Amino acid sequence: MKDEFTAEEKKGLYKAIQSRRDVRSHFTSRPIKDEVLSRILNAAHHAPSVGFSQPWNFILIKDPQTKSKVKESFEKERKRSSKLVEEPKKSKYLSFKLEGILESPINLCVTYDPSKFGPFVIGRSTIPKAGLYSVCCAIQNLWLAARTENIGVGWVSILSNKILKEILELPNHVIPVAYLCLGVVNEFSSKPDLEKEGWLPRLELRDVIYFEKWGKKENLTWRNIQDFITTNLDYP
């Protein structure tokens, strides 16, 4: 495939990346079209996977009983984890809206099944977690595709995986990786909620890049890029 990307196609990719948000509210009552949902699931299914093992499954959920049980687990875990943080951060943490389980029309559990095409999967015998990594790449594909379709996606990571496995009847060997809330939204926040609320700042790009070895922020052979990573970052 030699297909070059046009400037606008390229812009679409970068725009999706820059404007994707973790959505916890503002879900509208408009249903997600089956066609659109299929398309974003297909995007997820085209993620890279270690040894081409495609170890993901997607459980689509709209049963209100299931959602209520999951929400209950969220409430319990949120309370429990709030004990790990001191005031004034504790109250701030408890004031955040961190999930949209009931408000979003569709919940989606993305799972990892290590038994798929196993036991020998190329690349997984040296790095056993590589299968989990593949599932995360699928989630990010779905998230970006959803953004271009005006579907908000929120990842609920305050949950008991043990309870989730019971609720969704997962076999023992299957690992729930993500519990996502999906719904049509009218707009996406200009910044991540936790950045806007002043919980944590966005790091500068130059703060997360090292040269040749851990911790090395200066290197003569990388001098030119050192200038670039402080400027010129967004796709024109």
Least gap, CB of 103 to a second copy (angstroms)? 19
- Residue list 160-199, contact with a second copy (CB under 8 A): 160-161, 168-171, 174, 177-178, 186-190, 192, 194-195, 199
Taking CB under 8 A as the rule, does residue 203 contact a second copy? yes
Taking CB under 8 A as the criterion, the residue among 28, 59, 72, 103 binding a second copy is 59
User: 105 and 183 in contact (C-beta within 8 Å)?
Assistant: yes
Nearer to a second copy, 6 or 29 (CB): 6
Least gap, CB of 129 to a second copy (angstroms):
7
Determine if 87 is a binding residue for a second copy (CB under 8 A): no
Smallest gap from residue 159 Cβ to a second copy (A): 6
- Which letter does DSSP use for residue 129 in this model? T
Q: Which of 61, 101, 182, 184 binds a second copy (CB under 8 A)?
A: 61
- 58-71 b/e (C-beta count within 10 Å ≥ 16 → b): beebeeeebbebbb
| Closest CB to a second copy among residues 103, 116 | 116
CA distance 106 to 183: 7
Window 133-162: residues binding a second copy (CB under 8 A): 133, 136-137, 139-141, 143-145, 148-150, 155, 157-161
- How far apart CA 231 and CA 92 sit, in angstroms, is 33
Residues in binding contact with a second copy, number by CB under 8 A: 124
**Strand 106-112 to strand 175-184: parallel, antiparallel, or no bridges (unpaired)?**
antiparallel
Give Cα 231 to chain centroid, integer Å: 27
54 binds a second copy (CB under 8 A): yes
Give every CB contact of residue 43 below 8 A, 6+ residues apart in sequence. 141, 142, 144, 145
Q: Residue 40 Cβ, how far from a second copy at the closest point, in Å?
A: 10
Which residues, 6+ apart, have CB-to-CB distance to 168 below 8 Å?
A: 59, 61, 66, 109, 176
The pair of structure tokens assigned to 31 is 């249903």
Q: Tokens representing 181? A: 């809330």
CB of 14 to a second copy, least distance (A): 7
Positive or negative, the Cα torsion across 19, 21, 27, 33?
A: positive
The yes or no reply on residue 93 touching a second copy (CB under 8 A) is: yes
Least distance to a second copy, CB of residue 68, Å? 14
The minimum distance between CB 102 and a second copy, in angstroms, equals 16
CB-based contacts of 76, cutoff 8 Å, min separation 6: 160
Residue list 3-42, contact with a second copy (CB under 8 A):
3-6, 8-20, 22, 34-35, 37-39, 41-42
**Residue 26: how many other CB atoms lie within 10 Å:** 16
Q: Does 97 bind a second copy (CB under 8 A)?
A: no
